[in-house]
Amino acid sequence: MTVRTFSEKETEALGERLARSLPEDGAVVALYGDLGAGKTALVRGMARGLGVKDAVVSPTFTIVNEHAGERELFHFDMYRLSGADELFDIGWEDYLARNGVCAVEWSENVSDAFDGTEIRVTIEKCNESERAITVEGVELC
């Protein structure tokens, strides 16, 4: 399914809708898109949909930010990683075992860590405000 958004607020709203559509036993949301496409805005909306109250910012330098809410959110930024081995070194399997939601920015850098059950979200920047967001692997509610 492809949805067009026309503002950061609309992208966040789509993220909230996506979060409400995720399975209860945990999920990996693999995010793809260029710098400035809106990946973090989508995750901010996901956080709201998961009942997270704290601020959501890109974990570029920390690699992962953990957020408590009605459901746990683990927000990863793989921009600085060179492959899946580094992801496993920081405890990827431990995060998966916690059955929270793993939102992974720059998923293309660690795609071999995924098992094929991930939800794939591709964000295309059409212009300064418009985004074409394709969601695969889950039906949006």
Confidence of residue 20 (pLDDT cuts 50, 70, 90): very high
C-alpha pair distances (Å), 63 with each of 57, 76, 126: 11, 6, 28
Distance CA(22)–CA(101), nearest Å, equals 8
Mean pLDDT throughout 56-64?
87
Distance CA(91)–CA(69), nearest Å, equals 21
103 has pLDDT over 90 = yes
The DSSP code for 51 is: T
Tokens of 69: 């809410």
In residues, how long is the chain?
141
The whole-number pLDDT of residue 82 equals 83
Mean pLDDT throughout 21-45?
95
pTM of the model: 0.94
The whole-number pLDDT of residue 30 equals 97
Three-state DSSP at 40 gives helix
